[in-house]
Chains A and B, each alone.
Chain A
Amino acid sequence: MLAIEPLIQLIDLGKEYISQGATIVALNDINLEIFSGDIFGIIGMSGAGKSTLVRCINFLEKPTTGTVVLDGNDLSLLSEKEIRKLRQNIGMIFQQFNLLMQRNVEDNICFPLEIAGVKADERKKRSQELLEIVGLSDKAKSYPSQLSGGQKQRVAIARALSTNPKILLCDEATSALDPTTTSSILSLLKEINKKLGITIVIITHEMSVVERICDKVAIIDNGELAEQGSVENVFSNPKTDAARKLVYHNNNAVMEMKGKRCIRIVFDGKSSFEPVIANMILECRTQVNILFADTKDIKGKAFGQMVLQLPEDSIQADKIINYLKNNKMIVEELIDYVN
């Protein structure tokens, strides 16, 4: 296999703020590689540092340590002017859309082209093409205040794409939208990624967004990179606390069960088509208690986890574990899970 250079490289990236005399570490020693054509999700709880991280990618925030290498250019070695020039090749969309309220849709889309010094007639032509891509050709002369949230985000996407960027950064781009609109915006992003080959970096706190469209994911917790890998791997077998917290959401009910053995079964897309639990109960002739279950469809394959409370009889419990293992399930005993 050929070694492909990553499009975006974060190297030992760190960011500190000084706030009222105290130093706050927003990011610490982040190393990430994002390859051309990826849809890369960066997920974390609010305050984890993911917004700072995405702003470091285009140097809206200058990292205090480490650097960012974009397409071979080390940003920390570039002048302000060179960075501005480089930003013209990185589109960015935001949670609050950030459209110019006193400009109509067409002029909003033309704005990055104005900055890049493109001639007026070319700008107009390009904005019409983009409006077609985002499905808003009839809204060219409308003002942002006349549009819905989803339409505003479509305009923002068109604006971000106007300079034909290689990279599109999305900062919580769907967090202000309802589920249906979120879905349509995600489909649009996916389509753009496929058709135009743009590398997309998605910052979000919503698992569903990552599941829906990302190929790879990185989990940011407390300013540090907790875990990264393919979406399938990270979500079906989270290794760190931060990842588990995100994958299992809320598991207070599990916490109340004390002194019992628990196991977690992972459905990895292969075995979800057969009724595993029902067969197991019939086979082992014993009861289990389902403490937690969360299965979902990720890109056509079924994934999920289930936490089972085993019977007190250790022979029966071992029998269940063996049954599952024999059926090629990923089984993990959760000794520390309940106490």
Chain B
Amino acid sequence: MLTETMINEIINGTIATLYMTIFSTLFSYLFAFPLGIALVITRKDGLYPLLGVNKVLDAIVNLGRSIPFIILIVVVIPITKLIAGKSYGPTATIVPLVIAAVPFIARLIESSLLEVDNGVIEAAQSMGASIPTIILKVLIPEAKTSLIVGATIATGTIISYSAMAGAVGGGGLGDIAIRYGYIRYQTEVMMVTVILLVIIVQILQIIGMKIATKTDKRIRN
């Protein structure tokens, strides 16, 4: 059975996981949103075609997405130390999580925005809308449902990345699962942490889909 210290450890781990996930997601979106928009509008058929810029951004995003996360954590340790002051623990883990998630989320945002009907954009242009107006009042609101679904996927991915960071002292539930469950053969600890991660992802998924469906006005009712 789990000891009281173990239970406390797991509770703290859950809090650390939620902390890492929430802040990583928020910071990632802060960078990924402008990047996703830039990827869309600088395309050849975009609102502000800049082929050179588009190619560079595209290459950066692909590069970021192709580096395995566990390697990335180690590679960016100097940056992590610079920003967080140390290279281990939940706060420090946010740095590599954001670096890994930004290209991925930028792609999700890009594909959501590309779903918006070109005709609607053209209609806005015919009314004399400027590019910022089209982005803020047409692209983002019309892609809202898809963006929310994307955010759900992104958050789920960040949770699993944060668990992976446990392998190098990242803290949170993943850390506990590796230290106690894997290294010390405490199978029940591993089971509990895995179940907790599954529950967190599940709740997130349900909430995300609910919001997406509820706010989608394209569905007849």
The residues of A with any CB-CB pair to B shorter than 8 Å are 58, 60, 83-88, 90, 92, 94, 96, 98-104, 111-112, 114-116, 143, 145-146, 163, 169
Contacts and interface: CB of A to CB of B under 8 A. Distances in A.
Contacts of B120: 98-101
B183 interface: no
Contacts of B145: 102
A163 B128 CA distance: 11
29 contacts: A60-B126, A84-B128, A87-B125, A87-B126, A90-B126, A94-B119, A94-B122, A94-B123, A98-B120, A98-B122, A100-B141, A100-B142, A101-B120, A101-B142, A101-B217, A101-B218, A102-B217, A102-B218, A104-B217, A111-B137, A112-B128, A115-B128, A115-B129, A115-B133, A116-B128, A145-B219, A145-B220, A146-B220, A163-B127
Given A98-B119, A100-B138, A88 B128 contact: yes
Contacts of A86: 128
A6 to B, nearest CB: 21
Interface in B126-163: 126-130, 133, 137-138, 141-142, 144-145
Contacts of A104: 217
A201 to B, nearest CB: 13
Interface in B169-187: none
Given A98-B122, A100-B120, A102-B218, A84 B129 contact: yes
A140 to B, nearest CB: 14
A227 to B, nearest CB: 28
A112 B127 contact: yes
Nearest to A162: B127
B117 interface: yes
Nearest to B119: A98
Given A96-B117, A104-B217, 18 more contacts: A86-B128, A87-B128, A90-B126, A98-B117, A98-B120, A98-B122, A99-B123, A100-B138, A100-B141, A101-B120, A102-B142, A102-B145, A103-B141, A111-B127, A112-B127, A114-B137, A145-B219, A145-B220
A157 to B, nearest CB: 12
Interface residues of B, number: 25
Most buried by B among A114, A115, A146: A115
Contacts of A115: 124, 127-129, 133
B127 A102 contact: no
Contact of A92 (B117, B123, B137, B221): B123
A169 B126 CA distance: 10
Most buried by A among B119, B122, B217: B217
A60 B125 contact: yes
Nearest to A111: B127
A243 B142 CA distance: 42
A85 B129 CA distance: 9
Contacts of A60: 122, 125-126
B41 to A, nearest CB: 15
Contacts of A116: 128
A163 B144 CA distance: 27
A83 B125 CA distance: 10
Interface string B199-221: 00000000000000000111111
Contacts of B217: 101-104, 143, 145
A87 B124 CA distance: 10
A101 B121 CA distance: 12
Closest 7 CB pairs of A and B: A87-B128, A98-B123, A92-B126, A84-B128, A98-B119, A112-B127, A88-B128
